[in-house]
């Protein structure tokens, strides 16, 4: 979450409590601020703990970003927001991204496969996964979700527990292979082979 959006949320919370205290002082609502603080003080500890977790996660993400740009291991997890992996000009290697809320887009257009096994793994709790693969990449994929839809080309499955398992016919005979595993709890998964 960006610093601007955090400040906006903090500002909205302060304005909200300002209105409640104003309406209390004008007699429109009955609000005992100190009694509320007495009952909800553990919430302050929870908020401080969440701030510490988010700050350390942001620091880890910014430290791993420089590593990602210099290696073929594009791994990491995030709680909120969208993840986009694109513009990989070197070998795919391993991409492993996970997310709590948001969408993951992995665009392998213009990428190359290294000899051997290459992996794309994406998982989201609430959100969508889109993977764009060059048409000449041999793929073996396992796509599934709890509630939503999964699709690859003309193959589509939706509803509860949809799944697509697919392997290209020449997959075993190629020196460079791409394994795709994507799952989401609530959302859609799409794998598209691009013409480029």
Rounded to an integer, what distance in angstroms lies between the CA atom of residue 114 and that of residue 116? 6
Is 17 or 148 the better-scoring residue by pLDDT?
148
How distant is the alpha carbon of residue 170 from its chain centre? 31
116, pLDDT greater than 70: yes
Tens digit of each residue's pLDDT (9 = 90 or more) over 30-87: 777 677 777 777 776 777 777 666 665 554 444 333 333 334 457 777 777 788 888 7
Reduced to 3 states (helix: H, G, I; strand: E, B; else coil), residue 67 is: helix
Query: Hey, which bits of the chain come out as E strands?
Result: 73-80, 83-85, 94-101, 104-107, 116-126, 129-134, 139-152, 155-160, 163-167, 176-194
CB neighbour list of residue 16: distance below 8 Å, 6 or more residues apart:
none
DSSP string, 104-139: EEEE-TT-BPPSEEEEEEEEEEES-EEEEEETT--E
Asked whether the beta carbons of 180 and 142 are under 8 A apart, the reply is yes
Cut 0.75: pTM above it: no
Tens digit of each residue's pLDDT (9 = 90 or more) over 162-184: 999 999 988 888 998 999 999 99
């Amino acid at each position: 979450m960006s610093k601007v959006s955090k400040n906006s949320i903090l500002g909205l919370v302060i304005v909200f409590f300002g209105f409640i205290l104003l309406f209390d002082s004008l007699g429109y609502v009955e609000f005992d601020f100190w009694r509320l603080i007495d009952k909800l003080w553990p919430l302050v500890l929870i908020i401080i703990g969440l701030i510490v977790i988010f700050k350390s996660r942001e620091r880890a993400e910014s430290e791993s970003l420089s590593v990602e740009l210099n290696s073929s291991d594009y791994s990491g997890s995030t709680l909120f927001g969208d993840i986009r992996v694109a513009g990989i000009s070197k070998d795919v290697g391993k991409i492993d991204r996970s997310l709590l809320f948001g969408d993951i887009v992995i665009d392998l257009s213009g990428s190359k496969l290294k000899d051997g096994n290459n992996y794309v793994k994406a998982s989201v709790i609430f959100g969508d996964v889109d993977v764009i693969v060059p048409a000449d990449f041999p793929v073996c994929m396992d796509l599934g979700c709890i509630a939503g839809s999964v699709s690859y080309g003309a193959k589509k499955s939706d509803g509860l527990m949809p799944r697509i398992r697919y392997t290209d016919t020449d997959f075993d005979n190629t020196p460079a292979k791409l394994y795709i595993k994507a799952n989401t709890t609530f959302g859609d998964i799409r794998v598209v082979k691009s013409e480029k």
